[in-house]
A and B are shown apart, each in its own frame.
Chain A
Amino acid sequence: MKDTKHNDGVPIMDAEAIWRALRRIAHEIIEQNADLKSVVLAGIPLRGVEIARRLSEFIREVAKIDIETGTIDVAMHRDDVGTRAELPMVHASKLPLPLEGRTVIIVDDVLFTGRTARAAMDAISSFGRPARIQLAALIDRGHRELPIRADYVGKNLPTATREQIQVRLKETDNEADAVWLFKE
C-alpha cells in the first residue's frame, strides 16, 4: 500500500459531497426496504464499518428507526489466500443473529473487482441464511471481475485499473473526510 501524498492526488469528493451521498443512500435504503426493521448494515473493515454507522444515523433521523449494524471481515473468505507474500490482520465478524428473514446490506467504501463483496456474501452465509443480501458502496470505480453490482452507490467514478482510489474518513484516518484519486 502506498503512502498517501495528497499533493499527488486529485480530490474527487469533499466532506460535504460525502455527507450528501451517504444521506441519499440512506433515503434509498428507506425507500427500497418496506420492512426497515429487518435491515442489518454490515460494514467491511475498516471504513465500511464507519460508513455503516453513518448510514444508520441518517436512517434514524429520517425514519425514526434504530437499525442494527454489524461488522463483516472478509480476510478468511478471500480467494487469494496463499498467493500473497504478506497477510493483513484478520478481524472478528459481528452480526446480529439469527439472520433468517433479515436483509443484510454489505457496506464498503470502494467497489472495484467485486471479489471483496463475493467474500462478504460467503462470510454472511456462514452465520445463517438472510432473506436477501444487498450491497452499498460510497464509490463504484468499475472493473468488475465477477457478476456483481451494487444496489446503492454514492458516486460512480470511471477509473483506469492502475489508478488508486483512497477514501479518508475523520473517524478512521484522523483527517478530513475526502475521496482522492491517485494516478500511478
Chain B
Amino acid sequence: MTARWNRKDLLGLRELSAEEINFILETADAFKQVGTREIKKVPALRGKTLINFFVEPSTRTRTSFELAAFRLSADVINISASTSSLTKGETLKDTARNLEALHADILVLRHSSAGAPQFLAQRLKSSVINAGDGAHEHPTQGLLDIYTIREKRGKIAGLKVAIVGDILFSRVARSNIFGLTKLGAKITLVGPSTLVPREFEKLGVTVSHQIDNVLPDADVVNLLRIQHERQRKEYFPGIGEYTTLFGLTKERAKLLKSDCLVMHPGPINRGVEIDSEVADGLQSVILDQVTNGLAVRMAVLYLCGGIAT
C-alpha cells in the first residue's frame, strides 16, 4: 500500500521493476471502472495538453491514446508523419522542441527508430510515452497484454506463455518478454529460425521452432502479426508455408488446453497467423485486449502526466 509512482516517462518495460508494473496494472483497474460510469470522464488531467506524434502510421494505438486522454480531460493534438515538418527536413529534436514551446505536457511518440522516445525524454521537460519505437519496445501493448492475462487468469507467476510469429522485428514481443518475465511467467518463443533466433534465450526465455510441441502446455498463446510491410523474402518462403507450419489453424487449436487464452495485438491477418474460427472463438480475448488497452493507457497517462516535473 505504500508504493508510489515517480516517473515522468514510460519508455519501455525493461527498466521497470515488478512493483512498478504491478502499480500500473492496479491503477488500470481503477481506470477500467471509469468506463462503466454514466459519465466516462474524470478531471485528472484537466488543462494538460497531449500531443500524439506518430511518425509511423497507426490507427488503433493512436485512437486508444486519444480516447484515453479525452477520458482524463486532457486536450489532444494529433500529428502524423505526413502532416509534420519532418517531411520538410526538420530534425526530430527540433520538431519536439517546437511542440514543447507550445507547452505540450505529454508527448506520445511512435517512431520507426529504436531509442527515439528515450532521445526526446532526456531533452524535454514534457512526459514522453513510447507508443512503439522500431523493433525495440511497445510498453503499453505489453502492459495491456499482461493486464488481460492477469484479469482472466488471476495471476502471472508460473503461467506458460507462448509468443508466436515474427519475434525478430516485434517490439510487442520484446515488451511482453521483459514484463512477463519480471512477473514470473515462463515464456516460449515460437517461429521459424530466421524470425526466432536462439539469441533470444539470453533474455531468459525458451525458443522453439515446433509449435505443435508448445501448444498443449501453454496457458496463453500470443500470436503476432506477420508484418508484410517489413518482411523481406529471405525470412520465410511464403505466407502459405508460414500458415502451414506456425498458423493457429482450427485443427491446431484442438491441441490447446480448454482454459488457454488466445491473444493477438491486432490487426489480425485472418487465415495467416490465425483462423477466423479461433480469432472469434471462446478462448479468444482479442477484443478484451482492446478494451483493456484503454484502461492501461489512461493509467499510464495519469501516472506520467500527473506528477510534477
Q: Which residues of A contact B (CB under 8 A)?
A: 1, 46, 73, 75-78, 81-94, 97, 122-123, 125-128
Which among A1, A89, A123, A126 is the interface contact of B23 at CB below 8 angstroms?
A89
Which among B29, B33, B38, B303 is the interface contact of A87 at CB below 8 angstroms?
B303
Report the separation of the CA atoms of residues A76 and B298 in the bound assembly, to the nearest whole angstrom. Answer: 11
> In this complex, what residue of A is CB-closest to B3?
A89
Contacts between chains A and B (CB distance < 8 A), count: 79
Contacts of A87 in B (CB 8 A): 4-6, 302-303, 306-307
Inter-chain contact B41/A126, CB cutoff 8 Å: yes
Report the separation of the CA atoms of residues A89 and B48 in the bound assembly, to the nearest whole angstrom. Answer: 21
Contact with A along B207-221 (1 / 0, CB 8 A): 000000000000000
Report the separation of the CA atoms of residues A21 and B56 in the bound assembly, to the nearest whole angstrom. Answer: 62
> In this complex, what residue of A is CB-closest to B38?
A128
Query: Given A82-B48, A82-B105, A82-B307, 14 other A-B contacts at CB below 8 A?
Result: A76-B30, A76-B31, A77-B44, A86-B6, A87-B5, A87-B306, A87-B307, A89-B1, A89-B27, A90-B27, A91-B30, A92-B32, A126-B41, A126-B42
10 A-B pairs in the complex with CB atoms less than 8 angstroms apart: A76-B72, A77-B44, A81-B302, A86-B5, A88-B4, A89-B3, A89-B23, A93-B33, A125-B39, A127-B37
Which residues in window 83-125 of B have CB below 8 A to A?
105
Inter-chain contact B4/A126, CB cutoff 8 Å: no
> In this complex, what residue of A is CB-closest to B298?
A76
Contacts of B302 in A (CB 8 A): 76, 81, 87, 90
> In this complex, what residue of A is CB-closest to B28?
A90
Which among A73, A81, A86, A91 is the interface contact of B4 at CB below 8 angstroms?
A86
Contacts of B305 in A (CB 8 A): 82
Inter-chain contact B42/A76, CB cutoff 8 Å: yes
Report the separation of the CA atoms of residues A125 and B42 in the bound assembly, to the nearest whole angstrom. Answer: 11
Which among B29, B30, B45 is the interface contact of A81 at CB below 8 angstroms?
B45
Which among B3, B32, B44 is the interface contact of A76 at CB below 8 angstroms?
B44
Which among B6, B39, B42, B299 is the interface contact of A85 at CB below 8 angstroms?
B6
Report the separation of the CA atoms of residues A173 and B132 in the bound assembly, to the nearest whole angstrom. Answer: 42
Cβ of B34 within 8 Å of any chain A Cβ, yes or no, is yes
Which among B26, B38, B105 is the interface contact of A126 at CB below 8 angstroms?
B38
Smallest CB separation, B26 vs chain A (Å): 6
Interface centre among B2, B29, B43 (most CB of A within 10 A): B43
Q: Which residues of B contact A (CB under 8 A)?
A: 1-6, 23, 26-27, 29-34, 37-39, 41-45, 48, 72, 105, 299, 302-303, 305-308
Contacts of B29 in A (CB 8 A): 91-92
Which among B30, B32, B299 is the interface contact of A73 at CB below 8 angstroms?
B30
Report the separation of the CA atoms of residues A93 and B32 in the bound assembly, to the nearest whole angstrom. Answer: 10
Report the separation of the CA atoms of residues A128 and B43 in the bound assembly, to the nearest whole angstrom. Answer: 16
Report the separation of the CA atoms of residues A92 and B36 in the bound assembly, to the nearest whole angstrom. Answer: 11
Contacts of B44 in A (CB 8 A): 76-78, 81
Contacts of A88 in B (CB 8 A): 4
Given A81-B306, A85-B6, A86-B307, are A126 and B31 neighbors across the interface (CB < 8 Å)?
Answer: no
Smallest CB separation, A104 vs chain B (Å): 14
Smallest CB separation, A84 vs chain B (Å): 6
Contacts of A86 in B (CB 8 A): 4-6, 307
Smallest CB separation, A109 vs chain B (Å): 15
Contacts of B41 in A (CB 8 A): 126
Contacts of B2 in A (CB 8 A): 1
Contacts of A94 in B (CB 8 A): 33
Report the separation of the CA atoms of residues A84 and B48 in the bound assembly, to the nearest whole angstrom. Answer: 15
Given A73-B30, A76-B302, are A85 and B307 neighbors across the interface (CB < 8 Å)?
Answer: yes
Smallest CB separation, B9 vs chain A (Å): 14
Contacts of A76 in B (CB 8 A): 30-31, 34, 42-44, 72, 302
Inter-chain contact B34/A46, CB cutoff 8 Å: no
